[in-house]
Structure 1
Amino acid sequence: METRIGLPRPPAEPEPASFPLLASLAPVLGAGGLWLLLQTPTVLVFALLGPVIALASLGDGRRVRRRRRRRETERWRVEIAHVAARIDAALDQRREAMAAAHPGAREIAGRAAHDPHRWRRSAGDAVPIVLGIGALPSGVAVEGEVPATDELARSVGAAAEAERLRSFAAVVHGPVVVDARDGLGIVGQRRVALAAARAAVVQVLDAVPPDAAEVIAPDDPAWDWLTAAPHPLHREPGSAVRVVGDGLEATVAIAARASALPRECRVVMHVALDSARLGSRALEPAALAEREAADAALTLALAAEHAGIRRAGVVPAHVDLEALPVATGGLAATFLVADGPIELDLVREGPHAVVGGTTGSGKSELLLAWIAAMATGRSTAEVSFLLVDFKGGASFGPLAGLAHCVGVMTDLDDVGARRAIESLRAELRRRERVLADQGARAVEQASGLPRLVIVVDEFAAMLQELPDLHRLFVDLAARGRSLGVHLVLCTQRPSEAVRDALLANCGIRISLRVTDEHDAVAITGTAEAATIPLAARGRCVVRVSGGATRAAQAAIASPAHLAALVAHAAGQPGPPRPWCAPLPARLPLALVQADTVDGVRLGLVDLPAQQRVAPLVWRPGVDGPLLAIGGTSSGRSSLADLLAGQLGCEVVDREDALWDALHPEEHAGGALVVDDVDLQLSRLGEEQQSRVCQLLAGRMRDGSAVALTARRVPSSMGQIAPLAELRILLRIASRQEHVVAGGAGHLHDGSLLPGAGWLRDERIQLALPDARAPRRAPRSVPMPTGPAAIVLGAGVAAPRLAHAARPGERSSLGDADVVVGTVAEWEAAWGELDRLRADRPVVVLGVDERQLRQVLRLAPPVPPMRSAPAWVLERGRFERLRYLSSEATGTG
């Protein structure tokens, strides 16, 4: 149907104004008449008005004409712009109509599966395909002529504009359509020609229903994406794709030159990177990437399934696990479907498996379905599962409560990885012992030993964080077959994560969609998995024991199915766990059940290498002295309370109480618990510190029950720290101090909770004390009565005594009960104080250790006198005075 659009009236030159003859003669005739009447020559001047009026009239005419020319020009431009807009609208309408009648390849590839316009072709109808966008007759005609002789029309270019509009309106850029039955040959560089050929083939498959034709494609990997289409597919040598049905044969072929095309290709298109030529017509060619074509093929398969059309050998787009048969024997499981259900057995075809697939490809759903299929119909005595998920544990959440599941490991740190390594190696040793005890060579010949399937999601992420685990998995892969341990390793980048040492033992290989051909080849040996479309979640390529690859669809285990499986297995006994649960963050003492009562219960120790958690008991006579080192809020003071409560002693947490506790007279084989010994030592003078360390070392060497806690190990503890045969390391702020304290650098953890720590590189958790233990108070004695010598410090007033003398007053010494003097007075009476203390006590008031040494040359070790203002030296020992009045000390 043709659309006709008329041109506006062309611009016309205005008629020129006529000469004002009468207006010019009127003043002349009037002036002549006045002169004849009045005979006055001056009136003849009015005759000059005639030429003036003539000139003015001519100027005004020209002005009016120019105005009319401008108005005419503006009218033309407005009307011709309106015509141009009408032409644009008509061309847009034609383009939209053409696009609606013949959508391009990309529009067809993007159609929804339930699109109602698909497969409406009847037998004998043409099979239109769009080759690209090119110039086509528009059916829009511009009518009207513009005279070439008109001066104004020429000046505004009206004729040229009209001719331009006619040319513009005559052509529209729309889809260039040919009938696929005529055969299409595409000539050009292979990669470009293939893209154009894919676009043509997708359009043919979208037009011809799968139950009305079959596809014959070249035996070339470039056409592997056709396997997802619902049309019956046959492969043969050649370079042409043929869609053949009743009364239909559509051929699409590619070649490097036109002479190499099949004879049935009557339409030949030459293509380049971004242009094409169909005969003499230039095109913007239609093209599809291989992934786009694969997506379109999958959409066609979904559409066929929606329409109830199914051909033999087509992989379904969706499979429910509960609809598949339950496999028996070994670890056989049916969770994949190709042209029929696929049964995979880790025992027969494994012993291990590797699964590759990028995010969104359906890895987690495949693993859930596989585990569920293996657990169905089998008891916990036959199979158990250890699930490892480095995505936070969400993948295996629905199966965490399954009786067969011995644990779900998530996001291990270094400590957790070490624990896992030791526990799994211990599991291998345990299985070897079971086989040896039963005289069996393999797990099939043994009883009471269920197979263990270790399923790892995000294997590459785990190895990146914890590279030491790779050797463990290589060991598991090498020894797993006879011991009944099987691995299922899932990763996004198998070419990087699964090395040859592991891959060699993986007989089952499954690749879901991957983005890199190297990853697809690394698993299945072909790049087919790299062409799986994005929308094909669960679609995979399977290769078993080095055989041929097969395209398959992974089944989906619905939440209801998994919940029913968990509920059905709930009553079964739990299988042996490879390791115990982690140590608790808070441990009441009542939960520490020791086998022997001859010891002090400390807490629990994690022994992953023995697959058990054992009570931690300190036996002082066997284990020797104990030293616990930890920072603020690490639990060291709670440990002191725990020890003192069970040993029946007090906690020493003051330097003056420590001085008293270490006095030889105080030692009667009792226990000694010292809290913050490093802090107490730092408050002592150099001589006192040396004395305390010497006495404390003696107590530690003689077999006494000595327990010390410290924040760190300073140089002041250099004599006593090595004597602690049992060393507990709690949380320490820096790695350097952890190493100095005797710990391994790789075990340092600044985030340990209170009570958590290390003992001989084994993780421990200390128990909480039942109650706070009493603290040892410094020893004190009352003020002595009778004769005494008193030493006064600076600022201390002398007590008022009835019978008192000053040092050096020899005449009265024999009768004086008390001799009182300052440090200076006693120094002046040199040696007198040493003579007096032989038969009477010496009271020291407000004197520091240095001053006392000046006046007592042969005194026993001086205590830390800064902790108390008054002391008494009696029977070779310093004691604190229990009470002094303000009169005695002068301090008020």
Structure 2
Amino acid sequence: MTDAATSLEALPALHVPPLPTEPARSPFPWLATAAPVAGAVAIWAITGSVVSLAFAALGPLVAIAAVLDARRTARRTRRRQLVHREGEFGRLRSEVARRHDLERVAAWRRSPPARALASHGAPAWSFPLPEAVVVGSGIVRSRLSIEGVRVEDPDAVRLAADAAVLADAPVCAPLAGGIGFVGEPALARASARAAIVQVAEATDPSRCRIVGPSTAWDWLVDLPHRSSTADAAVLRVVEAVAGAGVSDAAASARAEVGDRDGAVIAVAPDAASLPPGVRTVVEVMAPRSALLHVIGADSRALEPELLSQAEAGRATDRLARIAARAGIASGPAVLPDSIGLGGLLPAPDPTADRSSLSATIGVGADGPVAIDLVAGPHAIVAGTSGSGKSELLVAWIAAMAARYAPDRVAFLLVDFKGGAAFEPVRVLPHAVGLVTDLDEDEAARAVESIRAELRHRERVLAESGARSITELSGAVTLPRLVVVVDEFQAMMERFAELGAVVADVAARGRSLGVHLVLAAQRPNGVVREQVSANCGIRMSLRVLDRADGVAVLGVDGAERLDPSRPGRALVDPGDGRVVEFQSALAARAEIAGIAAAHAGSAPPRRPWLDPLPSSIGPDDVDAVLGADGAGGGAVDSTGSAALILGVADEPAAQRRIVATWTPAVDGALVVLGAQGSGRTALIEALAMQVARRHGTAAVLRVEGARSAVWDALATLRRRTTGQAGPDEEASAVRLVLVDDVELRFAGWPEEHRLAALEALGELIRASRAGGPAVALAAGRSAALGSAVRDGAAVHVLLRHASRGDLVHAGGDGRLHRGAAPPGAGQWRGHPAQFLRADRPTAPAPRVEAPPLRFDTARPVAVASARPGVDADAIGRIAPEVELIRLADGPDAARRARHAIDSGGGGVVIVGDADAWAADWGLAAAARSRADLVVHGSGPESRALVRDAGILPLLDVDRDQCWFTGVDRTTERAAWPVA
């Protein structure tokens, strides 16, 4: 069949046969009926013969017969017309089917399926990429049309509708905007292969490049479409791994979707995993069933075009031979723009020794690129932002972890971009820690811990008699430690002291099994010369400045790497040869699989412990110390009872130690810290320990009302000086707690405040000589008196308001943390977390002073700040006594002197400070022969009592007074209520 014969345009138009016309209804022949009747009547009138009237009936009979005959003839004619039209319709249907066959053949010849391309001879290569590819067969719109269709003709309408669609025709999908094939992987890949082969058949290899992932797409590298010209069209093939999400596929295809000179063919398990922007989706549901979804159009069913991998391989071989005969050079192998790590991963090697850390991290022109870090023994990785530097580090870590067990390699991760870069590999059992720029204290711990790790490895080698880690026997557990640093320049800017540690590791790491991978945007000028001299492995992703690439590799080219292809890099694996390669991308699902493969392995030894917890209770110490902690029990090295303060962190020794306080040896304890820093919680934890050993009576809290605090200090002072009474001697107080020292004596009279501080100083001195232990808590050291500051040698430093306050208190300013949790502080130069305990609920202690009673056997002298009011009150509560008011004048003073000199009772003399001071003789007589009552403050007591010393402190919220009786001791008493 020739093209001319199959050309639809050369065929005449099709017309629907006309509908047969309805026959006209014949009118009744009234004249023919009336004429015989009229003739019969005329004959009868002429002849008079009645018989002639019979002919009148012939007219109607003839007329009726004529009408019936006309109708029968019309029906016969219409039947003949309908039979003729049906025949015409049959011939029209046959013509429609014939023309559909012609159109179908022409469509398949114009858009042949991938499987039939080989039978078409040499391809007619053109440029650019084809507009569309065949994705299957189904119903499409036909170019055939039928003229003369009328709405009232249902047969014609149905025939026109059938003629407008073409079944079993090629269904094409536009390449613009990308095509996504989704479904079960085997079916989706087979459908995508058919589309790729069609593009390869249609596009000039010298001006087209077809690239794709390595896994399941190896046959693509045999295609001759490897053009590297600047104007080459690019067909990018990507495949999203199930569970990896949209980002893995989008990372490679985002730049090409919608590009006029490029296209994307994507394969994914579902439409949600396709790269963003894909406009056409072929959903392959079964080998003979699929749906085509195009944005802006209705979905349509089709039978998908499928091509096996063997058929695709034969097609690529055929195209390669044709290209070779045409003189089109294949050129070097084109690097994939994206490659998954899964296809490069080896099986775990349980027999791997410490002699190698080889790992395949990408694909170069000659195949997979493997890097052995042991041969380095350190590496420098350069790359500007967005070049894929972090992804390369993650893939490298995952590749090493896939092959080597945690007892052969461990990773210490340092990320100065917040920690997100290494988040995917934290699930690996090989990961022993992550340091970020979000926690400066953790970074400082890393400095000391790495130094300690080097010392630990030196000890292990020395004990084993080995010169390097490779000589250790398999029975010794010492994995190689790979320290991976992302954004090395940021780390050095924040912690310059790390430079010495890095240089030490670079110099001694080879034999000790510690390796550095230092990644920076611009390593030039950041990595010291003594470090770079030991970094045999050099990598550079895209850099902005030629000098940066030359500084790392010694050659240029890194600045010319394509910015639209993250992961493209140059590497010198240590042999001086620089090769270009595409680094692999490690999907989270692949990393999770690596972690699961080593789930049964023992975790590696960590170079440092986790940060101390934010809260430690008295019963949590053993759990916090763990197996690596250095304990301290309830007894210290001298055998004296010790109290646990908390847990200190010693990163330089890679351990935690218990902070203890032995009062008999250390003396008094001072806890300093800002409000809310955990001072009270710590001294309560000490109280809990003492109470558990000796009972609750062994703890004395100096707190409560002023009178209670004063009396407690006075009792303790008498005990320390040997002046305690029998009841006080029987007391078994072992721990004295004074919280909020700077507030405890606030508002006291100066002489009482100084006396209280002096009493605390005596208690502190006595604590070393067998007295009760003393623990004080205050906000600032300046709030303590000199006796307290000088006498307390042991200081617990909690969080301070400022670094200056901490340094003034004797702490290390480098350990200052403004946002430290309660209980966090430092102990003897080490960071520490101190104990916390809740205080038992109990009312604040108060001293109930006995009520004042007037002794009628002796005169009573009252010095009052309000003599009139107090005299009236005494008169009401003791009407039987004689009341003398010194304010009444000289006569009252003479009466008072007489009453005192006579020594008679029942007399109460009331005066203010001025009245008693004015008559010093009367005051002297009262001090020697009368009971004294002071209801006031300092002026009243000095005017009447004078040399009685410091009087007991009165509560400000109660009406109290001082009473001096016969024994001349002054006591606190409650002023009587009238």
TM range (shorter): 0.5 to 0.7
Give 2:572's match in structure 1, choosing from 543, 548, 551.
543
- Match in the other structure for 1:607: 650
- Find out whether 1:342 has 2:358 as its counterpart: no
Give 1:695's match in structure 2, choosing from 759, 763, 769.
759
Give 1:417's match in structure 2, choosing from 440, 443, 456.
443
Matched residue of 1:444: which SS? helix
- Match in the other structure for 1:870: 960
Q: Amino acid of the residue matched to residue 596 of structure 1?
A: G
Between the aligned partners of 1:857 and 1:864, the Cα distance in structure 2 is 16
Matched residue of 2:536: which SS? strand
Matched residue of 1:781: which SS? coil
Give 1:844's match in structure 2, choosing from 904, 927, 934.
934
- Match in the other structure for 2:612: 583
Q: Quote the RMSD (CA, aligned, Å).
A: 3.6
Instruction: Give the deviation of 1:381 after TM superposition.
Output: 1.3
Residue 876 and residue 602 in structure 1: after superposition, are their counterparts in 2 closer, same or farther (change >3 A)? Answer: farther
Give 1:641's match in structure 2, choosing from 673, 680, 684.
684
Q: What is the TM-score with the length of structure 2 in the denominator?
A: 0.58
Q: Kindly provide the CA deviation profile for residues 783-822 of structure 1, in whole angstroms up to 9, marking residues without a partner as x.
A: 3553554332226412133345647623333111564422
- Match in the other structure for 1:375: 401
Q: Kindly provide the CA deviation profile for residues 424-464 of structure 1, in whole angstroms up to 9, marking residues without a partner as x.
A: 21111222222222222222233221111111111112222
Between the aligned partners of 2:969 and 2:556, the Cα distance in structure 1 is 91
- Match in the other structure for 1:64: none
- Find out whether 1:793 has 2:871 as its counterpart: no
Give 1:454's match in structure 2, choosing from 483, 500, 503.
483
Contact 1:386/1:408, CA 8 A, preserved across alignment? yes
Instruction: Give the deviation of 1:412 after TM superposition.
Output: 4.3
Greater mean deviation of Cα atoms: 551-560 or 866-875: 866-875
Between the aligned partners of 2:360 and 2:739, the Cα distance in structure 1 is 64
Contact 1:660/1:666, CA 8 A, preserved across alignment? no
- Match in the other structure for 2:140: none
Between the aligned partners of 2:707 and 2:466, the Cα distance in structure 1 is 67
Give 1:534's match in structure 2, choosing from 550, 563, 579.
563
Instruction: Give the deviation of 1:525 after TM superposition.
Output: 1.0
- Match in the other structure for 2:701: 651
Between the aligned partners of 1:533 and 1:302, the Cα distance in structure 2 is 21
Residue 834 and residue 859 in structure 1: after superposition, are their counterparts in 2 closer, same or farther (change >3 A)? Answer: farther
Instruction: Give the deviation of 1:358 after TM superposition.
Output: 1.4
Contact 2:127/2:204, CA 8 A, preserved across alignment? no
Contact 1:804/1:816, CA 8 A, preserved across alignment? no
Between the aligned partners of 1:581 and 1:840, the Cα distance in structure 2 is 73
Q: Kindly provide the CA deviation profile for residues 198-248 of structure 1, in whole angstroms up to 9, marking residues without a partner as x.
A: xxxxxxxx99634999xxxxxxxxxxxxxx993599xxxxxxx9x9xxxxx
- Match in the other structure for 1:201: none
Q: Amino acid of the residue matched to residue 827 of structure 1?
A: A
Q: Kindly provide the CA deviation profile for residues 623-667 of structure 1, in whole angstroms up to 9, marking residues without a partner as x.
A: 221112222222222233333333342432455433222212365
What 5-or-longer segments of structure 1 have no aligned partner? 1-114, 121-205, 214-227, 234-240, 244-291, 888-892
- Match in the other structure for 1:266: none
Contact 2:703/2:845, CA 8 A, preserved across alignment? no
Q: Amino acid of the residue matched to residue 386 of structure 1?
A: L
Residue 784 and residue 301 in structure 1: after superposition, are their counterparts in 2 closer, same or farther (change >3 A)? Answer: closer
Between the aligned partners of 2:225 and 2:919, the Cα distance in structure 1 is 118
Equivalences for residues 201-350 of structure 1 within 5 A: 209-210=205-206, 230-231=226-227, 311-324=331-344, 326=346, 329-338=355-364, 339-347=366-374, 349-350=375-376
Between the aligned partners of 1:496 and 1:876, the Cα distance in structure 2 is 85
Give 1:742's match in structure 2, choosing from 800, 804, 810.
810
Q: Kindly provide the CA deviation profile for residues 301-334 of structure 1, in whole angstroms up to 9, marking residues without a partner as x.
A: 9999998977555433333222225386521111
Residue 759 and residue 514 in structure 1: after superposition, are their counterparts in 2 closer, same or farther (change >3 A)? Answer: same
Matched residue of 1:497: which SS? coil
- Match in the other structure for 1:522: 551
Residue 323 and residue 481 in structure 1: after superposition, are their counterparts in 2 closer, same or farther (change >3 A)? Answer: same
Between the aligned partners of 1:478 and 1:402, the Cα distance in structure 2 is 28
Q: Kindly provide the CA deviation profile for residues 373-419 of structure 1, in whole angstroms up to 9, marking residues without a partner as x.
A: 11113222111111111222221112112111111222244322221
Q: Kindly provide the CA deviation profile for residues 573-608 of structure 1, in whole angstroms up to 9, marking residues without a partner as x.
A: 211111111122232332124642233333322222
Between the aligned partners of 1:212 and 1:640, the Cα distance in structure 2 is 78
Matched residue of 2:335: which SS? coil
- Match in the other structure for 1:170: none
- Find out whether 1:857 has 2:921 as its counterpart: no
Contact 1:843/1:870, CA 8 A, preserved across alignment? no
Contact 2:436/2:443, CA 8 A, preserved across alignment? no
Contact 2:384/2:542, CA 8 A, preserved across alignment? yes
Between the aligned partners of 1:726 and 1:299, the Cα distance in structure 2 is 74
Aligned length: 611
Equivalences for residues 362-761 of structure 1 within 5 A: 362-446=388-472, 447-545=476-574, 547-593=576-622, 595-597=632-634, 598-647=641-690, 648=696, 649-654=699-704, 655-663=706-714, 664-665=717-718, 670-703=734-767, 704-714=772-782, 717-761=785-829
Between the aligned partners of 1:413 and 1:886, the Cα distance in structure 2 is 63
- Match in the other structure for 1:811: 898
Residue 119 and residue 716 in structure 1: after superposition, are their counterparts in 2 closer, same or farther (change >3 A)? Answer: closer
Instruction: Give the deviation of 1:697 after TM superposition.
Output: 0.9
- Match in the other structure for 1:118: 128
Instruction: Give the deviation of 1:486 after TM superposition.
Output: 0.8
Greater mean deviation of Cα atoms: 800-809 or 635-644: 800-809
Instruction: Give the deviation of 1:356 after TM superposition.
Output: 1.0
Between the aligned partners of 2:843 and 2:444, the Cα distance in structure 1 is 40
Contact 1:631/1:732, CA 8 A, preserved across alignment? yes
Q: Amino acid of the residue matched to residue 698 of structure 1?
A: E
Greater mean deviation of Cα atoms: 618-627 or 713-722: 713-722
Between the aligned partners of 2:883 and 2:719, the Cα distance in structure 1 is 36
Contact 1:860/1:877, CA 8 A, preserved across alignment? no
Equivalences for residues 31-42 of structure 1 within 5 A: none
Between the aligned partners of 1:835 and 1:473, the Cα distance in structure 2 is 87
- Match in the other structure for 2:327: none
Matched residue of 1:360: which SS? coil
Matched residue of 2:544: which SS? coil
Instruction: Give the deviation of 1:532 after TM superposition.
Output: 0.1
Identity %: 38
- Match in the other structure for 2:916: 826
Q: Amino acid of the residue matched to residue 673 of structure 2?
A: G
Contact 1:780/1:879, CA 8 A, preserved across alignment? no
Instruction: Give the deviation of 1:535 after TM superposition.
Output: 1.3
Contact 2:962/2:972, CA 8 A, preserved across alignment? yes
Between the aligned partners of 1:403 and 1:362, the Cα distance in structure 2 is 24
Between the aligned partners of 2:810 and 2:541, the Cα distance in structure 1 is 50
- Match in the other structure for 2:972: 880
Q: Amino acid of the residue matched to residue 861 of structure 1?
A: I
Instruction: Give the deviation of 1:549 after TM superposition.
Output: 1.0
Q: What is the TM-score with the length of structure 1 in the denominator?
A: 0.63
Instruction: Give the deviation of 1:770 after TM superposition.
Output: 4.0
Instruction: Give the deviation of 1:712 after TM superposition.
Output: 1.7
Contact 2:899/2:907, CA 8 A, preserved across alignment? no
